[in-house]
Amino acid sequence: MKWVTEVLQLFPHRHPSDALVGKRLRERREAKGWTPSQLAIAIGVSERRIAKFEAGKESMDAARLFAAARLLNCAVADFFQRDGAAV
């Protein structure tokens, strides 16, 4: 498992896009009037993970990102928009 330690040393912090995706996820969820709990149930994760996603402390996997986009009526690319421009 030495390789895991090496990878973690190369990538010790979250990617900046995690915070942006989390911010956009929260905006979309709130615009739809959903609670974190409702979104968690809909995409099959705990409410705590939704909080981590929205805080940018955990990355969403592709399948959940696609599910969230579908449920929140937006394109996946919308989660990566920064003030009208893609990251």
What domains appear along the chain, each with residue ranges and CATH number?
A: 13-73 (1.10.260.40)
What's the pLDDT at 3?
66
Q: Which residues of 15-32 are buried (b: 16+ CB within 10 A; e: fewer)?
A: eeebebbbebbbebbeee
pLDDT at residue 1, as a whole number: 60
61, two tokens: 């996997």
Report the predicted TM-score, pTM, of the whole model to 2 decimal places: 0.80
Q: State the Cα–Cα distance between residues 53 and 58, nearest whole angstrom.
A: 5
Residue 82 is predicted with a pLDDT of: 79
Instruction: Per-residue pLDDT tens, the chain, 87 aa: give them.
Output: 666 666 556 665 678 889 999 999 999 999 999 999 999 999 999 999 999 999 999 999 999 999 999 999 999 999 998 775 554
